[in-house]
Amino acid sequence: MSQYSVSPAVGTIAPGSAAVVTVMFNAQGAKSFESNLLIDIANRDVALNPEGIQFQLCAESSIPGINTTDFD
């Protein structure tokens, strides 16, 4: 299961238009997570990015705590 969810995951945007893509991170434990999001655009030069235009997703989750040794 991925730590990321993307909405909308699929869609069509008219030329000259824009869309908002929301990426949600589901934190699980104190870890760093990296993944790639690939976006395919019609009529792009496939030789430059055969699998799609890549965006790197990076997120880190941490467990809250209280430092009881360094009071400064």
pLDDT in tens, 41-66: 888 888 998 888 999 999 988 777 66
Contact in structure between 2 and 25 (CB atoms under 8 Å): no
CB neighbour class for 59 (10 Å; exposed up to 12, middle 13-18, buried from 19): middle
In sequence order, the β-bridge partners of residue 56 are 36
Residue 3 has pLDDT above 70, yes or no: yes
- The identity of residue 15, as a single letter, is P
Contact in structure between 38 and 51 (CB atoms under 8 Å): yes
What pTM was computed for the model?
0.64
Q: What's the rounded Cα separation, in Å, for the pair 21 and 45?
A: 22
